[in-house]
């Protein structure tokens, strides 16, 4: 019986995380922002119903915002991974995604802005998770882990 092999196209590695980036950021930014509050009634059912259309819109707009960074990141990490086997590890991809997004956040408002720490943490976590998800779909020609 033949084993199932994941897709090997780099386009899948770009499109899947780009699609998930908006809703994932909304989820993580909401989580990190609510961790800062001491309000026992954080999740209101009326707010939860309003989140569904916002999540759809975040998925749509997040796709277009994440498409170019994912394209550049996947191509760069693919090239670096062809030169260094250690950079093929998913943790290296996650660190690269978190490093690039944290540099972007620092460039926008610095680390001194306390009003947006939950939003910044959600952005950095989204970058790391999208990079690790992209690594899931990337294969190199000399890689034999699926044989």
Query: pLDDT for 57-100, tens place per residue?
Result: 889 999 999 999 999 999 999 889 888 889 999 999 999 999 99
> Which ranges of 37-89 does DSSP label H, i.e. alpha helix?
45-83
Residue extents of the structural domains in the chain = 10-136
Three-class SS state of 137: coil
Q: Quick one: which of 8, 17, 9 has its CA closest to 93?
A: 17
**What is the sign of the dihedral through the CA atoms of 68, 74, 75 and 76?**
positive
Using a pLDDT cut of 70, give the percent of the chain over it.
79
Q: Quick one: which of 19, 29, 18 has its CA closest to 51?
A: 29
């Amino acid at each position: 019986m033949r084993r199932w092999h994941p897709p090997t196209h780099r386009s899948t590695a770009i499109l899947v995380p780009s699609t998930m980036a908006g809703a994932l950021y909304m989820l993580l930014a909401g989580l990190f922002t609510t961790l800062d509050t001491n309000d026992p009634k954080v999740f209101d059912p009326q707010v939860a119903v309003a989140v569904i259309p916002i999540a759809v819109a975040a998925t749509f707009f997040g796709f277009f915002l994440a498409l170019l960074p994912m394209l550049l990141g996947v191509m760069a990490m693919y090239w670096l991974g062809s030169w260094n086997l250690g950079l093929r590890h998913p943790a290296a991809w996650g660190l690269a995604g978190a490093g690039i997004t944290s540099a972007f956040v620092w460039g926008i408002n610095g680390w001194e802005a306390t009003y947006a720490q939950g939003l910044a943490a959600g952005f950095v976590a989204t970058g790391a998770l999208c990079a690790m998800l992209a690594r899931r779909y990337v294969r190199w020609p000399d890689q034999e882990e699926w044989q």
